Amino acid sequence: MKYASFYRYLLPFWRRELLILVLSSITMLLGLVNPYLAKLIIDRAYANKDIKLFIILFGIGGIVFVLSGLFNSFSNYLNRYIKIRLNFDFNRRIFKKLQKLPYASFLDSSTGEHLYKISYDAEQSSRFMADILPQAVELIPKSVFIFLIIFYMNFKIALLTLVLTPSLYAVSYYFNRRIKKAYKAWVEDSQGIFKRLQEVLSHIQLVKAFGKERRQTGIYVRSLVKNMRFNLGKTKLEAMGLFANSLVNRIILGLILFYGGYQVIIGQLTFGSLSAIIIYLSQLSGIQGSLAKFFQETTEGMISYKRVETILNAPPSAIEVNEAREFAITRGRVELRNVSFGYDKRMILDNLSFSVDEGSFVGLVGPSGCGKTTIINLILRLYSPIKGEILIDDCCINKIKSKTLYEQIGMVLQEPYLWNDSIKNNILYAEEGASFTQVQEAAKIACIDDFVEGLRDGYNTIIGENACKISEGQKQRIAIARAVIKKPRILILDEALSSVDCQKENLIINNLRAFLKGTTIIMVSHRVATIEKMDVVYFLADPGKMEISTHDKLISQAIYQKYVAQSLGC
């Protein structure tokens, strides 16, 4: 089978799965007993008016019925248990794998797409994997056994059944191919709705600021209508398939019963045998319906499973080499050596080389889009250079284990991503074992302590989704506190003070110098007043050239003068 790889996910539950298969087999065999008991009751107990035999056969039938129900109930419980565990396992695997994917892979897909796969596709895949084996073991062998029993009772009716039955599978095959296409289109469209919903809700402030609630509602309703049409089309195909199966099934059953009645009339078949055959054929009819549903659900489950597998089989980040090791950053010297990087064949950095001395406080500047943030992402190993290498303390960062690397680097982004949690927990995110005193100290360095202590709940204040309850400047200062609490050997600030006033900025920079002595600090900024405070300025003039000097010396260069004039709005 094309997707037989899913069996490895069932391996941890092989004992329970084996027990389900055994119980399903026993239940299937017990289900074949009662029709034959009916034949014996009619042909022997009724015909011979044997009350003792009637009671015995009736009692056996009752025991079979109870045992069948008991085994079936226990089998269903185990099946549901495996589904729940598989769903948990899938969610865990998908989330874990997402954490290992390279940063660039998230730029090509939306959060909504991943959420849909975790929520819907994982559950569909779990149901598919848990059901396919027990159903296959129960339905297919049962069909074979029923045919053999009918063959034993009357080979002519068995041959007629064998000739007519393939038409049922032809109908199922035809509709399942059409349903597969419709289901795939519906799933992909549903994912698009989920993606759009997540995007709108996460940008609700923008929607309200522009008064676009009505427009967004219209777009959402239109997408729901489109999805409903997909769903109705799929449902129509399913209904047509079930009807066609039912119709063909009844025609076949009617023809067989007509011929069986003829056999009874001419004396070649007993009434009891015909009754048993009718019950067996009814079971066979139910099996054909179940098989049609089985093939349909298998088709749908395979589609979801394939979508989940695109994540689970995606190549993880290859930035860290196999021989990566623990590495203590003692100096904090950063070097880019002949580094080239680009997007969509457009080179952002071209054979760029420069180094940042240990313990220095430097400014990384340049026109918008020149590659400053790209350099930061390369140092953080979020991107991998096309050519060249990045070194920290003369060690290539690809040879440093991720955990070790990120424990020793602090990062503050222009967009300060904060959790819908307390201020204290947001600061502790970088150093979970830090004490409350350390939290307060970090807040003081970031000049956010006065604001926090003035709140009713202080550091336990919940700041809301996307920190919607506080200002942008306050968000940035909490993010700075989060970065400095772990006392990093290298601290990177990417436009981290863009929403902070100049007075607060001066205080924060002075606090960083005092608190993080010996730490290499790289600050990206467009503010001239900020750049002037740096020990050294790194000016990215073009993709392959980095001008390195102080602000006072660089200002004599025309290209830097132009950049400064643009920054000042001149």
- Distance CA(442)–CA(426), nearest Å, equals 12
Closest-CA residue to 468 (of 409, 418, 410, 522): 418
The residues pairing with 422 across neighbouring beta strands, listed in sequence order, are 462
| pLDDT confidence band for 116 (50 / 70 / 90) | confident
pLDDT above 80 for 81: yes
Largest distance between two CA atoms of the chain: 120
The residues pairing with 521 across neighbouring beta strands, listed in sequence order, are 361, 491
CB 459 within 8 A of CB 421: no
CB 275 within 8 A of CB 38: yes
Which pLDDT value is given to residue 332?
A: 92
pLDDT above 90 for 452: yes
Closest-CA residue to 426 (of 468, 471, 483): 483
Nearest-5° Cα angle at 355, 351 to 359: 160
Which pLDDT value is given to residue 569?
A: 56
Pinpoint the alpha helices (H) of 41-165.
Answer: 51-100, 111-116, 122-153, 155-164
Segment 94-100 shows an average pLDDT of 81
pLDDT above 90 for 280: no
Cβ density class 421-455: b for 16+ within 10 Å, e for less? bbbbbbbbbbbeebeeebbbbbbebbbbbebbeee
| pLDDT confidence band for 453 (50 / 70 / 90) | very high
Segment 47-52 shows an average pLDDT of 86
Length of the chain in terms of residues written: 570
| pLDDT confidence band for 209 (50 / 70 / 90) | low
**In this structure, what are the phi and psi dihedrals at residue 71, rounded to the nearest 5 degrees?**
-65, -40
Which pLDDT value is given to residue 451?
A: 92
Q: How many angstroms from the chain centroid is the CA of residue 523?
A: 35
| pLDDT confidence band for 570 (50 / 70 / 90) | very low
pLDDT tens, position by position, 468-483:
889 889 999 999 999 9
Which pLDDT value is given to residue 1?
A: 44
Mean pLDDT computed over every residue of the chain: 85
Q: Which residue has the higher pLDDT, 539 or 8?
A: 539
pLDDT above 70 for 6: no
| pLDDT confidence band for 493 (50 / 70 / 90) | very high
- Distance CA(539)–CA(555), nearest Å, equals 11
CB 512 within 8 A of CB 521: yes
Q: Which two tokens stand for residue 43?
A: 């042909």
- Distance CA(374)–CA(161), nearest Å, equals 70
pLDDT tens, position by position, 151-179:
888 888 888 888 887 787 787 778 878 88
- Distance CA(449)–CA(171), nearest Å, equals 72
Nearest-5° Cα angle at 294, 288 to 300: 145
Q: Is 296 exposed, middle or buried (0-12, 13-18, 19+ CB in 10 A)?
A: buried
- Distance CA(365)–CA(460), nearest Å, equals 37
Q: Which residue has the higher pLDDT, 389 or 299?
A: 389
CB 284 within 8 A of CB 248: no
CB 142 within 8 A of CB 31: yes
pLDDT above 80 for 221: yes
Write the class of the CATH domain 334-568: alpha beta
CB 356 within 8 A of CB 392: no
pLDDT above 90 for 139: no
CA distances from 309 to 145, 233, 314, 353, 496 (A): 36, 27, 8, 40, 38
Write the class of the CATH domain 12-154+269-313: mainly alpha
For residue 332, what are the contacts with CB-CB under 8 A and spacing of at least 6?
358, 359, 392, 393, 489, 490, 518, 519, 520
Q: Is 322 exposed, middle or buried (0-12, 13-18, 19+ CB in 10 A)?
A: exposed
Q: Which of 134-138, 259-263, 566-570 has the highest mean pLDDT?
A: 259-263
Segment 69-92 shows an average pLDDT of 88
pLDDT tens, position by position, 337-386:
999 998 777 888 999 999 999 999 999 998 888 888 899 989 988 888 98
Among the listed ranges 112-116, 301-305, 325-329, 336-340, which one has the minimum average pLDDT value? 112-116
If you ran DSSP here, which 8-state letter would residue 472 be given? H
Which pLDDT value is given to residue 318?
A: 55
Among the listed ranges 62-71, 226-235, 319-328, which one has the minimum average pLDDT value? 319-328
pLDDT tens, position by position, 26-39:
888 888 888 888 88
**Domain range annotation of the chain:** 12-154+269-313, 334-568
**Residue whose structure tokens are 């079936």:** 72
For residue 411, what are the contacts with CB-CB under 8 A and spacing of at least 6?
376, 380, 483, 491, 492, 494
Q: Which two tokens stand for residue 250?
A: 């009844």
